[in-house]
Structure 1
């Protein structure tokens, strides 16, 4: 156990902070008071942080005042008598390492007790996984914050927001101007549901959103339960290069298109894009994979699941409504834990197609009202032309069956069509409709102001 702490190292770090208060700012994000093995050292570090927050010099007089009855003459004398160090960051990292290892030993001691508990094994694994993740992430889940701490966090967030190029966006840029205006972006900790009937393009709009996030240098994890990873990449490359998907899939491209394709492939190969394309996944597996990936790649800022209806439940509920409720709650909690938005796709009930106006509403969400309750934002994808085309085909079929002349009333546009992103729920903003354009050949949605003539700008 002795190699799991080093009192000389702890004294050296504290001595260096007294020697120069700037040293505290350098290691403030690396260690906390709980990382010190000796309680007296932890108390001194806390007093130093209090001095820093109050804009007081980190000197003996002020530290004694802050420590009050916790001031220990001997501990303090030992700190003052220890030489300060040059590379304080390196020492702080080592101190944190020892702290994590001590915590690992404690968790290991808990395992025999957990095994004897009357709980399913996967729940125990999940709890232990949470403990391990919290160690490396320094998560303060469940800690009660005082008002002044919250205000410090709020001011830090506002300062960060002020420095942004686009101050109107609070979360992740969606890539759609009007959608950004209404939602202010996808915020950390939010669960966003994108729902539609089959064939409306909910997967496509997600691929567009993911491409936009990747282009900004952030990472994305995509749990694809319906489509293999290669097919996903082909669609993203088509949207990125403005080369029709059909041409890419059949490799029928001219030299200039091959060149564009090659550049796009090279660009995408350098992105932090992770795809899990097994047809089976449950909330435990998503949680485990996301914790692991987020720890290794902190730049990951979005998780997408396609789609929620294909996820497996971990409980013994036979009622699918209850299973979906468990899944949606689990995704919301995971978004909070990882401090990032999670987008989950969902199917809509077929019953909406019996209505004259087929635009989706919240009541059309399939299988569970819990999705509506847990989601911070619900977006519906709607393309009126899908239904107009269906009606036209039925009209043609009827005319042929009755031996009548068929005169088309609706001729679909093969290149692009009007589409809508309907904001059905927005916890922190307005609801409403965002008009966009769906470009069929390139499997992508673009802003209404773009259209075919702006394709080059979009891909650039």
Structure 2
């Protein structure tokens, strides 16, 4: 260990000497090394003085450094003289990497000692220890290098033209990302693209879970890997919904096992197919950004074909260990941490991440209950971080709710016959109308248009489907009335 420390000490002296005798490269060095990366206190102090001089636009020279060292006991005259006696080096990058590598190893050694001490602390739970370890590991890994590699305009142009060339060769294929299974949504967004954060928001019972399951089925059909973090629903319940949608067997029949021979055969074929698909579901009831990052990085290394991740849903996630239960933090600060973390993770892993989101109850108070961006819970940070925000809307959900409220009122008023009559009408109507109109509202689209896409919801199979079109026109301006059944499928708002 002593030999290694001497080796690192010599590295540190060489780097500091190079800074003093050629300070022109200090910006690049200070981007990669921090004061705490130096092993010896004297070296840390001199490097800190160099940073201070540079910040104040003062020359980094032996005289200026010596003047700052007057009266400082942390650096002896002998130590400073030794540094000045070391010749500057040409290959400074290699020395910087060695110093940084040694610094990270020291931090990991400290972490190992901390783990040992805490493992014997009976007042701590294993979960809290794991959370703290993940936080520390994340902090260490995030400081590996702060160097920013700029691209020149020439390099950016070359990359841009190369992308355009690739897209041109694709012909009429509008997709640059993953297909959603909804042609009009793909047309507006060009699919879900790498590095994007996509938010799907809706009030309860609108079908957020069914909607994302429909989309990932399309992705899985192309054998593209999908990771799902289901914080609200067990994995077996999700699979039942997917099987119902793919086999056209009513979900209720699957739940109670009421299947005939033909349905059993369809189910057997569907399950055989599904077992070959790269679908990964984590249905743990708690999840932090650090845990999500750790799990996705591990999964990505195991299956490089992982193409997308889904979180159901965002508000059930928690922040770091210190923010559980929003203790010491307002909830909006925790959501800000989560949404920023999701966007950062999408870029880091180079995959799209979908996060489902609840909406505020204020939606229910409006005459027009179609969601708006302001309806997102703790919406500021979510709206800012998301690349695409989709809202689901089904008018029939509110119609049924209004009818149920009306029945309840009739019963309270003693009008049992009228209540039973309305209940029967609702039952017959629900029995006949198995297909309900639905809307995908594209409220934000960082790289494209916004507007409304008309689809339909197949209730027995909890399946969203494309609407059968009665005309060839896809787009209409926002001031066009959309009351007709033959109206266009998409309403577009030009940005």
Q: TM-score, normalised on structure 2?
A: 0.64
DSSP 3-state at the match of 1:441: helix
Q: Distance in 2 between matches of 1:398 and 1:164?
A: 59
Q: Distance in 1 between matches of 2:143 and 2:240?
A: 38
Q: Distance in 1 between matches of 2:246 and 2:147?
A: 39
Q: Distance in 2 between matches of 1:274 and 1:437?
A: 28
Is 1:123 matched with 2:129?
no
Deviations 1:150-209 (A, max 9, x none): 233323333433344752112111110111122111111111100011111011101111
Corresponding position of 1:441: 460
Is 1:225 matched with 2:238?
no
Corresponding position of 2:389: 378
Is 1:297 matched with 2:303?
yes
Q: Give the CA deviation at 1:338.
A: 1.0
Checking the alignment, whether the CA contact within 8 Å between 2:373 and 2:379 is kept in structure 1 is no
Is 1:307 matched with 2:288?
no
Residues 266 and 361 of structure 1: CA distance in aligned 2, closer, same or farther (over 3 Å): same
Listed as ranges, the gaps of 5+ residues in structure 2 are 1-99, 115-131, 471-495
Corresponding position of 2:34: none
Q: Distance in 1 between matches of 2:206 and 2:340?
A: 26
Deviations 1:31-50 (A, max 9, x none): xxxxxxxxxxxxxxxxxxxx
Name which of 327, 334, 344 aligns with 2:355. 344
Checking the alignment, whether the CA contact within 8 Å between 1:115 and 1:124 is kept in structure 2 is no
Corresponding position of 2:196: 190
Q: Distance in 2 between matches of 1:340 and 1:104?
A: 29
DSSP 3-state at the match of 2:418: coil
Checking the alignment, whether the CA contact within 8 Å between 1:287 and 1:334 is kept in structure 2 is yes
Q: Distance in 2 between matches of 1:141 and 1:175?
A: 41
Corresponding position of 2:151: 145
Name which of 342, 345, 350 aligns with 1:334. 345
Corresponding position of 1:427: 446
Q: Give the CA deviation at 1:431.
A: 1.2
Residues 261 and 104 of structure 1: CA distance in aligned 2, closer, same or farther (over 3 Å): farther
Q: TM-score, normalised on structure 1?
A: 0.69
| Structure number with larger C-alpha Rg | 2
DSSP 3-state at the match of 1:419: strand
Q: Distance in 2 between matches of 1:259 and 1:168?
A: 37
Is 1:111 matched with 2:147?
no
1:42-441 → structure 2 map (5 Å cutoff): 107-108=104-105, 111-112=108-109, 121-128=133-140, 142-164=148-170, 167-314=173-320, 315-316=322-323, 317-402=328-413, 403=415, 405-406=418-419, 408=422, 411-412=429-430, 413-441=432-460
Listed as ranges, the gaps of 5+ residues in structure 1 are 1-102, 135-139, 452-460
Q: Distance in 2 between matches of 1:273 and 1:390?
A: 35
Checking the alignment, whether the CA contact within 8 Å between 2:390 and 2:440 is kept in structure 1 is yes
Aligned length: 344
Deviations 1:268-287 (A, max 9, x none): 11111111100001000000
RMSD across aligned C-alpha pairs, in angstroms?
3.0
Q: Give the CA deviation at 1:113.
A: 7.2
Q: Give the CA deviation at 1:354.
A: 1.1
Checking the alignment, whether the CA contact within 8 Å between 1:195 and 1:345 is kept in structure 2 is yes
Deviations 1:316-369 (A, max 9, x none): 442000000000000000011111110001100112101111111111111241
Q: Distance in 1 between matches of 2:248 and 2:141?
A: 43
Q: Distance in 2 between matches of 1:204 and 1:186?
A: 18
Residues 335 and 420 of structure 1: CA distance in aligned 2, closer, same or farther (over 3 Å): same
DSSP 3-state at the match of 1:381: strand
Checking the alignment, whether the CA contact within 8 Å between 2:107 and 2:140 is kept in structure 1 is no
Q: Give the CA deviation at 1:416.
A: 1.4
Q: Distance in 1 between matches of 2:147 and 2:220?
A: 28
Deviations 1:360-410 (A, max 9, x none): 111111124110111111111111000101111122222333327356487
